[in-house]
Amino acid sequence: MGRDMPAEEPTYASDPLPSPETENAIWAESAEGERIIYGVPGQPALLALACLRDGPEPILRITRMSPADEGAGAMLALIGNGAIGRMEVDATEVSGRTIWQGEDPASDEDWEPLAGPRQFTATIPGAGMVTLNPSPLPMQLVAACRES
């Protein structure tokens, strides 16, 4: 008589997170080179944007400081300023936490929602939608990164 091994417990994605409150959130320059962060002062940052110049072409990296399941991947949608951008993001370990991170060439049109004077949103399925209040900082970082 043969015995079957019990089936492994299926793994599922974590429960979706609610969208964070961003009424008082602001953009601020980071001490870490060409990087800006977004969040409510006195609270953990919600999002970061950095220009990387290590390769032949400048790259913009977006980081959503929201828990991500190990090994997960998703599409981040940037919507606003008359444009829509979509890019792949992956669960990435940063400082002992697994959060969402993705990067694309600075010249890519997916960054256009950041290059305007109005509010825009960043959404990752399961990580909520972050409403990003207007500021010249994202627009300036994108332009400076593209010029290099």
Can you give the residue ranges of every domain in the chain? Answer: 26-147
**Residue whose C-alpha is closest to residue 46's, from 84, 103, 100, 120:** 100
The CA-to-CA distance between both ends of the chain, in Å, stands at 70
Mean per-residue pLDDT for 64-73? 93
Q: Residue 134's pLDDT is what? A: 94
**Residue whose C-alpha is closest to residue 74's, from 90, 94, 86, 93:** 90
Whether 1 has a pLDDT exceeding 60, the answer reads no
Tokens 């959130």, located at residue: 25
Band (pLDDT 50/70/90 cuts) for residue 6 is: low
Is residue 145 within 8 A of residue 34, CB to CB? The reply is: yes
Mean per-residue pLDDT for 63-91? 95
The class of domain 26-147 in CATH terms is mainly beta
Is residue 145 within 8 A of residue 51, CB to CB? The reply is: yes
Q: What is the DSSP letter of 12?
A: -
The structure tokens listed for 90 are: 């992956």
Give percent above pLDDT 70 in the chain.
90
Q: Residue 32's pLDDT is what? A: 80
Whether 117 has a pLDDT exceeding 70, the answer reads yes
- Which helix (H) or strand (E) segment is 139 a member of? helix 136-147
